[in-house]
Chain A
Amino acid sequence: MTTLEPGAVTTPPKPPLIYNPKVRGIAYQAVLCIIIALLAWAAVNNAAENLARAKIASGFGFWENTAGFDISQTLIDYTTTSTYGRAFWVGLLNTLLVAALGIVFATILGFIVGIGRLSKNWLVAKICGGYVEIIRNIPLLLQLLFWYNAVLKALPGIRESIAIPGGGFLNNRGVFLPQPLFQPAARWTLLAFGVGIVAAFVYRTWARRRQMQTGQQAPVLWVTLGLVIGWPLVVFAASGFPVQFDFPEAGRFNIRGGVEILPEFMALLFGLVIYTAAFIAEVVRAGILSVVKGQTEAAYSLGLRPGPTLRLVVVPQAMRVIVPPLTNQYLNLTKNSSLAVAIGYPDLVQIFAGTVLNQTGQAVEVIAITMAVYLAISLVTSGLMNLYNRRISLVER
């Protein structure tokens, strides 16, 4: 009988690396990555070769070439002699403009309709319910065409323009408003506005701290409004209203001067807001219904009035359910804005993936850039929404 001395336990021989699950895993991943990279390289190479053989121009040299076409709405300087690259930025900014405004208005309308659908008022609840059911079941493209035709058909022609009080015009070429031209002295107002915002933040922090310590509430809303709007207005008046207006006036064909809002833009914004708000309303309704009734009752029993109950108890909890699907709707709205092409609004797809693609014939490059841009916009949007979601998510103690 052999006895083993303590401590002399022989360690089993180390298995070869190939049996190590971790090493294996890494190896498989590496092989997969290499295969995908090779496939991608082969695809790009093959595409380049095919394009070259068919003598189709390729590469990104077109970016600096003269575009030669006109664009109806440009947020930055653009003429027919600008480059394709410039046209790209014009289109991108137009897309961002309609997407950003669309998100703001769709959120507001969506919250109103969503809450309205839960209203105890029978009529309000039914109207909101009917709105949601009708709008979300009709394809967006049809709605856009409808709104565009509604705008064009319902509004009067250029020579029968409706005058807007204050020097504007409304007709089927769009809305024309006086353009404010600020004089140098207006910078004091801008400064006052900045100071007002900072002061409002400081006040809000102070008010919250005081409430935590003493339980006394301060009128945050009114003071904030006063600081951000009232105070700059006072400064504006004190510096002698340093602004002039460029009034639109009727020319032989069109209205000249002023700020012009295109009917295509109005129809697109209107269509996107109406459509997306129907989905947001359902998201909001789901969020509010997810907060159990006991929460409201508990708040009432603590003596909170209905307003603060909604604001301080129900909505913060509902937001946890609302935000993730809300992000989806924001992304949908941005991507849906590419339907602009149907009604002649010069967005990224219309200008860049439309005219520029057609003129340069470089479909692969142009579509790749367009897809990358939409991907980037979507990733930024969802990134911001995820940040917000993390801030409001349930903190476990």
Chain B
Amino acid sequence: MKRVVFGLALAALVAAAPASAQTLNTVKSRGSLNCGSNGTLAGFGLPDSQGRWTGLDVDLCKAIAAAIFNDPNKVKFVPLTAKDRFTALQSGEVDLLARNTTWSMSRDTSLGLNFTGVNYYDGQGFIVRKALKVNSALELNDAAVCVQQGTTTELNLADYFRANKMKLKTVTFATADEALKAYDASRCDSYTTDASGLAGERLRLANTDDHVILPEIISKEPLGPAVRHGDDQWFDIVKWTHFAMVNAEELGITKANVDDMAKSENPDVKRLLGTEGKYGEALGLTNDWAVRIIKHVGNYGEVFEKNVGQGSPLKIARGLNALWNKGGLQYAPPVR
């Protein structure tokens, strides 16, 4: 917190505002990408015991590093709390924020940052003890709810209870970790966060089977990476890294078959993989940028299944995050 505030003060007072189109150069000359990450959320951003970071958001940062350096490990992950994350991005401490951050209008307009897209469609849910015999969030009148500070969750919670004329006792903590611990110690009747988070956090509770996630999803939480205002080239790179992964899944290009697919005659595949046209150079990268992403990190579906889907302990279904032609919302503009 102090570090971030100091950084912002320094940036605001001393440095000139970042000129446009310099983030890519800064990252290249530094030799690594600074990625603002979660650090405590399984499936999205969490270092393991050896310090290796994993997660959906982590893989997005790795994909960007792969596109720039042809090396997915040239990323420095900066763990941020929900409260400090925007200040860290504004002050230039991180190059992008990939920290399961909800895209909302006020954040997009008044915080000086831009969301590049949605890499996970989420919604807010509640977890309660089975012993309470609660079947719906609408039965939570007068309940105490633990929540993390500085999140849209905090606001949705208050809105939902107000809209349904229910009384609420909020207990607010600086980090998700402390909020979850307090819930586990029975300080609150319920803990609320994004449904994806609940799936992961439930596994960290003392007796996993004593808790149940309520069916209500009370909000829209489009989670996506964000960058600072004023650098359109960098905005494009982050945006198209995600699109490349979605397009790759749609075209059936995987980590395993990307080299074979490079010989494909399908014009869509050829354009994405850079064997036709100069789309990568237009981004300020090399033409094989998408090959690097897919080879080192994988397509969107692979990354999803590995981190939050069937290949992970969370076992979250694709749901809204399936491709658009499979009943979901993940849709990428064509490479053309």
Contacts and interface: CB of A to CB of B under 8 A. Distances in A.
A226 B321 CA distance: 75
Contacts of B150: 354-355, 358-359
Contacts of B82: 358
B17 A256 contact: no
A254 B142 contact: yes
B228 to A, nearest CB: 7
B158 A253 contact: no
Contact of A350 (B141, B149, B155): B149
B109 to A, nearest CB: 8
A295 interface: no
B86 A358 contact: yes
B179 to A, nearest CB: 8
Question: What is the interface residue range for chain B against chain A?
Answer: 35 or more
Nearest to B173: A344
B111 A361 contact: yes
Interface in A69-100: 69-72, 80-81
A342 B174 contact: yes
A344 B176 CA distance: 11
A45 B323 CA distance: 48
Nearest to B146: A344
A337 interface: no
A54 B90 CA distance: 8
Interface string B10-43: 0111111110000000000000000000000000
Contacts of A363: 5, 8, 87, 90
Contacts of A350: 149, 172, 174
B162 A80 contact: yes
B157 interface: yes
Nearest to A68: B155
A49 to B, nearest CB: 7
B171 A364 contact: no
Contacts of A50: 11-12, 15-17
A361 B5 contact: no
B9 interface: yes
Contacts of B174: 341-342, 344, 350, 354
B216 interface: no
Contacts of B218: none
A70 B158 contact: yes
A290 interface: no
A50 B107 CA distance: 18
B110 interface: yes
A43 interface: yes
B230 interface: yes
A55 interface: yes
A51 interface: yes
Interface stretch (B63-71, B182-190, B289-297, B328-336): B182-190
B86 A361 contact: yes
A190 interface: no
B276 interface: no
A287 interface: no
Interface string A49-73: 1110111110000000000111110
A345 to B, nearest CB: 9
A373 to B, nearest CB: 15
Contacts of A354: 83, 149-150, 174
A47 B158 CA distance: 34
Contacts of A158: 186
Contacts of B86: 358, 361
Contacts of B187: 152, 172-173, 263
Contact of A53 (B17, B169, B172): B17
Given A152-B186, A361-B90, A49 B17 contact: yes
Interface string A192-223: 00000000000000000000000000000000
B112 interface: yes
A350 B175 CA distance: 12
Interface of A: 43, 46-47, 49-51, 53-57, 68-72, 80-81, 149, 152-153, 157-158, 172-173, 251-254, 256, 263-264, 341-344, 346, 350, 354-355, 357-361, 363-364, 367
13 contacts: A50-B16, A54-B17, A68-B158, A69-B172, A81-B162, A152-B186, A172-B185, A172-B186, A172-B187, A253-B143, A355-B172, A357-B87, A363-B90
Given A55-B112, A346-B172, 18 more contacts: A46-B12, A50-B11, A54-B228, A56-B90, A57-B110, A57-B111, A71-B170, A72-B171, A80-B158, A251-B142, A252-B142, A254-B144, A343-B178, A354-B149, A354-B150, A355-B150, A359-B150, A360-B110
What 10 A-B pairs are tightest by C-beta distance, nearest first?
A358-B150, A56-B112, A361-B111, A70-B170, A47-B12, A57-B110, A80-B158, A54-B112, A152-B185, A53-B17
